[in-house]
Amino acid sequence: MEKYFSPSFSFFLFFTNLLLVILLHLPTSLPITSLVPKCHEDDRSALLEFKESFRYPITSYTSRYFQTTSHKVKLEPWKLDSCGMLEGGEGNYCTWDGVQCDAESGHVIGLDICCTGLHASINSSSRGFLRLVHLRKLNLAYTNLDRSPIPYAIGNLPGLTSLNLSNCELAGQIPELILSLTSLSTLDLSYNDGLELVKPSLEDLALRLTKLEILDLSNVNIPSALPYAITSSPSLTSLTLAECGLEGRLPPSVFSLPNLQVLDIYGNDLSGELPTSVSNLTELILLDLSYNRFQGRIPRFSDTPQLRFLNLRNNMFTGAIPSSLRNVSKLEYLSLANNHLTGQIPSQIANLGQLTILDLSCNMLSGEVLLHKFLELKNLETLHIGYNDLSVLTSYNTTTTSHPSKLLAVSLAHCNLREFPKLLLSLQRLSVLGLSSNKIQGEVPMWFQNVSRQSLVYLKLSNNSLTGFEGNPVNLKWANLAYLDLSFNKLQGPLPAPPDSISIYLASNNRFSGDIPPLLCSMEFIEMLDLAHNNFSGVIPRCFSNLTRTLDFLSLNNNNLQGEILQVPGKNCSVRVLDLHSNQLQGKLPRSLSNCTGLEFLNVGNNMINDTFPSWLGTSTNLRALVLRSNRFHGSIEEPETNSEFQSLQIIDISSNDFEDFLPAKYFRYWTSMRESITEGQKYFHVVNTIRTSHRVFGNQSLMDIVALAGLTVETKGMEVKYAEILGYLQAIDFSGNNFRGEIPESIADLKGLRSLNFSDNNLSGPIPPTLGGMTNLESLDLSGNGLSGEIPQQLSQLYFLEFFNVSNNRLSGPIPQGRQFYTFKNTSYEGNERLCGVPLSRACDSGAASSPSYSRNQKGDSGTGVQLGWKGSLVGYAVGFISASVIGHRMMTSELDWFSNAVAFVEQRKWW
Ligand X SMILES: *[C@@H]1O[C@H](CO)[C@@H](O)[C@H](O)[C@H]1NC(C)=O
Binding site residues, ligand X, CB under 6 A: 16, 53, 114-115, 121, 123, 125-126, 139, 141, 164, 166, 186, 188, 214, 216, 276-277, 280, 397, 399-400, 521, 542-543, 545-546, 570-571, 591-592, 594-595, 610, 632
Q: Which is nearer to ligand X, 214 or 869 (CB)?
A: 214
Helix (H) or strand (E) holding 703: helix 703-710
Query: In whole angstroms, what is the distance from residue 509 CA to residue 507 CA?
Result: 7
CB of 377 to ligand X, least distance (A): 21
Helices and strands, counts by H and E, the chain: 13, 55
Give whichever of 446 and 543 is closer to ligand X, judged by the CB atom.
Answer: 543
| Closer by beta carbon to ligand X, 213 or else 734 | 213
Q: Shortest Cβ distance from residue 767 to ligand X (Å)?
A: 33
Distance CA 240, CA 202 (A): 12
Residue 595 vs 794, nearer CB to ligand X: 595
Q: Which is nearer to ligand X, 188 or 243 (by Cβ)?
A: 188
Q: Work out how close the CB of 124 gets to ligand X at its nearest, in angstroms, rounded to a whole number.
A: 7
CB closer to ligand X, 632 vs 843: 632
512: nearest Cα among 474, 559, 475, 456: 559
Is the Cβ–Cβ distance between 900 and 411 less than 8 Å? yes
Q: CB nearer to ligand X: give 109 or 141.
A: 141
Residue 720, beta-bridge partner list = 715
Q: What is the CA radius of gyration of the chain?
A: 32
Instruction: Supply the minimum distance, in Å, between the C-beta of residue 126 and ligand X.
Output: 4
Nearer to ligand X, 64 or 199 (CB): 64
Closest distance to ligand X from the beta carbon of 151 (Å): 11
Q: What is the DSSP letter of 144?
A: B
Q: Which is nearer to ligand X, 72 or 384 (CB)?
A: 72
Q: Decide whether 568 or 707 has the Cβ nearer to ligand X.
A: 568
Helix%, strand%, coil% for the chain, nearest 5 = 25, 20, 55
**DSSP conformation letters of 681-695:** HHHHHHHHHH----H
Transcribe 857-881 into DSSP letters.
HHHHHTSS-HHHHHHHGGGTT-SS-
Question: Which of 557, 497, 550, 555 shows the shortest CA–CA distance to 527?
Answer: 550
Strand residue runs (E) in 528-639: 528-530, 535-539, 553-555, 560-564, 577-579, 584-586, 601-603, 625-627, 634-636
- Least spacing, CB of residue 718 vs ligand X, in Å: 27
Nearest-approach distance from CB 167 to ligand X, in angstroms? 8
Residue 828 beta carbon to ligand X: minimum distance, rounded to whole angstroms: 32
Q: Are strands 108-112 and 99-101 parallel, antiparallel or unpaired?
A: antiparallel
**C-alpha to C-alpha distance for 410 and 426, rounded to whole angstroms:** 13
Question: Distance between CA atoms of 49 and 663, rounded to whole angstroms?
Answer: 63
Rounded to a whole number of angstroms, the minimum distance from the CB of residue 280 to ligand X is 4
Q: How far apart are CA 107 and CA 129, in angstroms?
A: 12
Position 807: which residue type? Answer: V
Helix, strand, or coil (residue 697): helix
CB of 354 to ligand X, least distance (A): 24
CA distance 613 to 627: 11
In the complex, the smallest distance separating the C-beta of residue 25 from ligand X, rounded to whole angstroms, is: 15
CB nearer to ligand X: pick between 397 and 679: 397
DSSP 738: S
Residue nearest to ligand X (CB): 543
